[in-house]
Amino acid sequence: MSESFNWHEAATKKWDQNVTFWSEKSRSMWRDGSRAGIIPFMKRYMPEGSKVADIGCGDGYGAYLLSEAGYNVTGVDISPKMIEQAKQMSGERLMFTQGDLAKLPFAPDTYDGLMAINSLEWTEKPKEALEELGRILKPGGRLCIAILGPTAGPRQNSYRRLYGEDVICNTMMPWEFEQLASENGWRSLDGYGVFKEGVKEEEIKDLPKPLQQALTFLWVFVVEKQ
């Protein structure tokens, strides 16, 4: 990465430019697409009424659904324009603020739970970003985090790094995240895969987890802060 490249500025610019595109996709992803199972999954591990932050909330629709499910939710995103869009969502248990995952604007041990869907891959230093998530989470708190699988099209955002170009998508494999988490104070509780069309889950359910993960568009984890 070139010395003059500013990850924060580049990421902010990209997501500011993507507000319209993202908002058009977001609701379908959360309602009946790749993210439809996430909040029901979280409800198994985070009690209703918990104080939860949606880290990388985008247009805020996922945070809105969390609040509708009974959580007290703060959505945070690096993009000021995404936050402007998100603030159009309304709810008694819902608020939004601008902030960078690398340096979140919250005190230590603030939240009972966190949701971070495809946001860790968009940080310059994922290990430090994961530590930042741990900083704002109470001991024993839980993080629901989704990592793009090997078959996910958005991984193309990191492709140009092979040409030595600066990119802001720091992709990792689901099993790499799992190892990173286990080495840095987190305990894995559960997870499930979202598969692309053509993969029949009944045919792969008996495969070892790494082989299942190799076929995914998305892998969703719940990990616990130790």
Question: In this structure, are residues 182 and 155 in contact, taking their beta carbons and an 8 Å threshold?
Answer: no
Q: What is the pLDDT of residue 196?
A: 86
CATH 3.30.420.40 for domain 7-225, yes or no, is: no
Q: What is the pLDDT of residue 91?
A: 87
Q: What is the pLDDT of residue 127?
A: 97
Q: Which sequence spans correspond to the domains of the chain?
A: 7-225
Q: What is the pLDDT of residue 1?
A: 63
Residue 217 binned pLDDT confidence (cut-offs 50, 70, 90): very high
HSE value, Cβ hemisphere, 13 Å, CA-based, for 40: 8
pLDDT in tens, 11-50: 999 999 999 989 889 999 999 999 999 999 999 999 999 9
Query: For the range 123-130, what are the long-range contacts, defined as Cβ-Cβ under 8 Å and sequence gap of 24 or more?
Result: 123/7, 123/170, 124/7, 124/8, 124/168, 124/170, 126/170, 126/172, 126/177, 126/180, 127/180, 127/184, 128/102, 129/101, 129/102, 130/180, 130/181, 130/184, 130/186
Prediction pTM value: 0.94
Distances (CA, A) of 102 to 39, 112, 132, 169, 199: 24, 19, 7, 14, 35
225 Cβ partners below 8 Å, 6+ apart?
134, 137, 138, 139, 140, 141, 142, 143, 185, 186
Question: In this structure, are residues 218 and 199 in contact, taking their beta carbons and an 8 Å threshold?
Answer: no
pLDDT in tens, 159-212: 999 999 999 999 999 999 999 999 999 999 999 999 988 898 889 999 999 999
